Amino acid sequence: MCLAVPHVITEVLGENRAIAAAGAVATEIRTDLVNSPALGDVVLVHAGFAIEKLAPSESEELLGLWEEIRRLAGEPQGHGARIK
């Protein structure tokens, strides 16, 4: 029930409403819960409401973790992980 699907806003209809598309499917959504919805914004849609805008790129925290994961994954087997 907490499923939220990324949609792209394709048309802003006025106060609190917009058309948003997920793939080929476009639907009318409510935008009460996000600030300044604009054409091209990628929003998470849950139960007909945009609940947040998605940032264009991943967070620094996740990018840093990916580097750590790649380092750990690349270490030779049987030597134990050198955990920083």
Partner 1 sequence: MGGDQKVGRRAARTWGSNKMTSFVAEASRALRRIISSPISVMEVCGTHTVSIFRSGIRSLLPPELRLVSGPGCPVCVTDQGEIDCALSLLDSGVVLAAYGDMFRVPGKSGSLASRREMGFDARVVTSALDLIEIALESPSREVVFLAVGFETTAPATAALLLEASQRRIHNLSVLSFHKCTPPALAALSSDPELKLSGFLLPGHVSVILGHEPFRFLADDGGLPAVIAGFDPEQIMAGLVEIALQHQRGEARLGSVYGRAVRPGGNDKARSLMDRVFVRRDSCWRGLGPLADSGMALREEYSEFDAERRFSLAPVRGTPPHGCKCGEVLTGRIFPPECALFGTGCTPASPAGPCMVSAEGACGAFFRFYRRNGGSRCV
Give the binding site for partner 1 (CB under 8 A): 1-4, 30, 32-35, 44, 46-49, 51-52, 54-55, 57-62, 65-66, 68-70, 72-75, 80-81, 83
Quote the least distance from Cβ 26 to partner 1, whole Å. Answer: 15
d(CA 17, CA 31): 5
Kind and range of the H or E run holding 76? none
Residue among 26 and 46 whose Cβ is closer to partner 1: 46
Neighbouring residues of 40: CB distance < 8 A, sequence distance ≥ 6: 8, 9
Quote the least distance from Cβ 74 to partner 1, whole Å. Answer: 8
